Amino acid sequence: MAKKQSGNLIGGWAFLVGLVLAVIFGLGLLTAPVWLTVLVIIGLIIGLLNIAAEEANPFLVSGAVLIIAAALGKDTLSVIPIVEGILNALLAIFVPATVIVAIKNVFSLARG
């Protein structure tokens, strides 16, 4: 998923840190609203720096499926607070990342 350039090191680390924080956030260890903002910022970094043009379509399909499954799954699995928290945290990362990649993809298509 990461580009093969050295400039994407931040994006790659953001992806890894974001997933780890999503699990920690979901476990309830980081519950302050500021951590949700951190996850959104990490998602923006992932979308801007970590997804190459040739990876956009697979990422968008996977991201859309993940967003739909997490959004519906958190309601269904709300009786298990840990799972609901992890799914909420994943949404905080993948919604902004998917939106950024989709916007980049639309601009790429518009340029022809």
Instruction: Name the DSSP class of 78.
Output: T
Token reading at 92: 């905080």
User: Which of these ranges, 14-18, 23-27, 28-32, 89-93, has the smallest mean pLDDT?
Assistant: 28-32
- Residue scoring higher pLDDT (31 or 13): 13
Would you call 106 exposed, middle or buried from its count of C-beta atoms within 10 A (0-12, 13-18, 19+)?
A: exposed
Q: Is the pLDDT of residue 75 over 60?
A: yes
Spatial CB neighbours of 64, under 8 Å, sequence gap ≥ 6: 98
pLDDT at residue 77 in the model: 85
Say yes or no to pLDDT of 13 above 60: yes
The tokens describing 13, both together, are 């680390």
Look at phi and psi of residue 28 and say left if phi exceeds 0, alpha if psi is from -120 to 50, else beta: left
Residue 4 in 3-state DSSP? coil
Cα-flanking dihedrals φ and ψ of residue 4, to 5°? -95, 15
pTM (2 decimals)? 0.84
Mean pLDDT of 58-68: 93
